[in-house]
Amino acid sequence: TQLLEQSPQFLSIQEGENLTVYCNSSSVFSSLQWYRQEPGEGPVLLVTVVTGGEVKKLKRLTFQFGDARKDSSLHITAAQPGDTGLYLCADISNFGNEKLTFGTGTRLTIIP
């Protein structure tokens, strides 16, 4: 069974600071996705990465996929209160059965 560990579990920082959260898998990812979940809502997809070493940018968010496809990081520049939420990494099975295996999550709070 694949295990996805995210760190840190909780992170609270001031508005304007930079931060990085991590996701490590016990086995090679099929495809890695990052989600953000706000209170009272379901997770919303931020990005999908497939290729080892891939870097994707989404405004102030930078996603990096490890060369060995077993780890990933999410870096946020100049954090804003709207970035507050639960960040989840997930592996999507590519065997046609549409199953997402989620990480343990990082709960991020940005203090105005």
Partner 1 sequence: KAGVTQTPRYLIKTRGQQVTLSCSPISGHRSVSWYQQTPGQGLQFLFEYFSETQRNKGNFPGRFSGRQFSNSRSEMNVSTLELGDSALYLCASRMLNTEAFFGQGTRLTVV
The binding site for partner 1 (CB under 8 A) comprises: 40-45, 48, 88, 93, 96-105
The nearer residue to partner 1, 9 or 77, going by C-beta atoms, is 9
Sorted by sequence, the CB contacts under 8 Å of residue 97 that are 6+ apart come out as none
User: In whole angstroms, what separates CA 73 from the centre of its chain?
Assistant: 7
- For the CB of residue 109, give the shortest distance to partner 1 in the complex, in Å: 16
- For the CB of residue 81, give the shortest distance to partner 1 in the complex, in Å: 21
- For the CB of residue 98, give the shortest distance to partner 1 in the complex, in Å: 5
Side-chain half-sphere exposure of 38, counting CA atoms within 13 A: 7
Q: Which residue has the tokens 């891939």?
A: 54
